[in-house]
Amino acid sequence: MSDYDVLCIGNAIVDIISRCDDAFLVENGIIKGAMNLIDVDRSELLHQRMGPAIETSGGSAGNTAAGVASFGARAAFFGKVSNDQLGTIYRHDIRAQGVAFDTTALDGNPPTARSMIFVTPDGERSMNTYLGACMELGPEDVEEEKVRASRITYFEGYLWDPPLAKEAIRKTAAIAHAAGREVSMTLSDPFCVDRYREEFLELMRSGTVDFVFANEHELISLYQTSSLETALAALRGDCKFGVVTRSERGSIVIRGDETIAVDPERVDTVVDTTGAGDLYAAGFLFGYTKGLSLADCGRLGSLAAGLVIQQVGPRLQTSLKHAGQQAGLI
């Protein structure tokens, strides 16, 4: 029996979330629906210009780790924060949600990462992220015993932006595979895919990554095609299996010649799409570690994603375990 079901590795970021209209995005040069990397001066400027905001711990893989723990599984997280106010908030939040988080913090410089997230009336989120302390995550932060003790290691493609993190991921994958464990990743963002397409494909084709999560736009970007079917056909040959989310059209799981279509969770009102993909991955990974069918893994992913888009922020305050039990999935 492993000590952890899922080990997540990612950028430890505090989200600062505010509502705005589309005109605000245009006026401030913000790319809608994407994650834009910014420097500390730009983060301060946007913070000054944004309206009333909510601060909550975020970061893609951190959100997934919190979701896995909410389902009742054992989760661990590697991510870099600083010994500052936002770092204290982040460390408290993720541990309070039941995630093992022991990465050594920096002394305050650079500061803990923060993302200015602007949510438009359609629920779409546009992220503007200063990576700060995340840039310092490196091979020395890989806790080898945790890696060996985790059934699945999951990391975010955003980690390819901080150079040292690439080394940490490759080291982690080698340890995990040597221990007979599996490694998965999320492609994170179409712009992230554009920056690192060849490296992501190499991770998949070399077997460094066993299976992949992507949304439809990311997958199409990865294979530089306008056809989802063409992209899915290519994905089949590049990894053990793949999971592709399609917003209101649900998701598709492919494995070899098998194709599994999963319906979305029906919701009345979309409040904020922040964390939808992260929580989908949490539900799927939870189901996978419990030996459920790929179809039921996808249903758990849809359930978690459907719940998180009905609130502001990526960390659910309600129990996913309870929701899964009510739905008859666990």
Q: To the nearest whole percent, how much of the chain has pLDDT over 70? A: 99
By the 10 Å C-beta count (0-12 exposed, 13-18 middle, 19+ buried), 215 is classed as: buried
Q: Strands of the chain (E only): list them.
A: 4-9, 13-19, 35-37, 53-58, 75-78, 99-101, 113-119, 125-130, 150-156, 182-186, 211-215, 241-245, 251-255, 258-262
Question: Given this model, what pLDDT does residue 56 score?
Answer: 86
Residue 90 CB neighbours (<10 A): 28
Residue given tokens 């666990």 in the structure block: 330
Q: What is the mean pLDDT of the chain?
A: 94
Q: How far apart are CA 50 and CA 107, in angstroms?
A: 29
Q: How far apart are CA 133 and CA 21, in angstroms?
A: 30
Question: Given this model, what pLDDT does residue 224 score?
Answer: 97
Instruction: Name, in order, each residue with C-beta under 8 angstroms of 82's C-beta and a sequence gap of 6 or more.
Output: 105, 106, 107, 108, 109, 110, 111, 112, 132, 133
Each residue's pLDDT tens digit, 309-320: 998 888 888 899
Residue 238: name the closest of 217, 258, 210 by CA.
210
* 207, 184 Cβ separation under 8 angstroms: no
Question: Given this model, what pLDDT does residue 163 score?
Answer: 85
Copy the structure tokens of residue 319: 């129990």
Each residue's pLDDT tens digit, 91-111: 999 999 999 999 999 998 899
* Pairing outcome for strands 99-101 and 4-9: unpaired
On whether the pTM is more than 0.85, the answer is yes
Residue 96: name the closest of 77, 82, 112, 116 by CA.
77
Helix (H, G, I), strand (E, B) or coil at 186: strand
Question: Given this model, what pLDDT does residue 2 score?
Answer: 65
- Residue 6 dihedral angles phi and psi, to the nearest 5°: -135, 130
The domain limits of the chain are 4-9+65-101+135-326
Q: How far apart are CA 224 and CA 149, in angstroms?
A: 37
Each residue's pLDDT tens digit, 60-74: 999 999 999 999 999
Residue given tokens 């494995």 in the structure block: 255
**In this model, does residue 1 exceed pLDDT 60?**
no
Residue 160: name the closest of 304, 55, 37, 67 by CA.
37
Q: For the residues 205-231, what does the mean pLDDT come to? A: 97
Each residue's pLDDT tens digit, 256-282: 999 999 999 988 888 888 889 999 999
Q: Which helix (H) or strand (E) holds 318?
A: none
Beta partners for residue 17, in sequence order: 54, 117
State which CATH number among 3.40.1190.20, 1.20.58.1690, 3.65.10.10, 3.40.50.300 fits the domain covering 4-9+65-101+135-326.
Answer: 3.40.1190.20
Mean pLDDT lowest among 54-58, 165-169, 212-216? 54-58
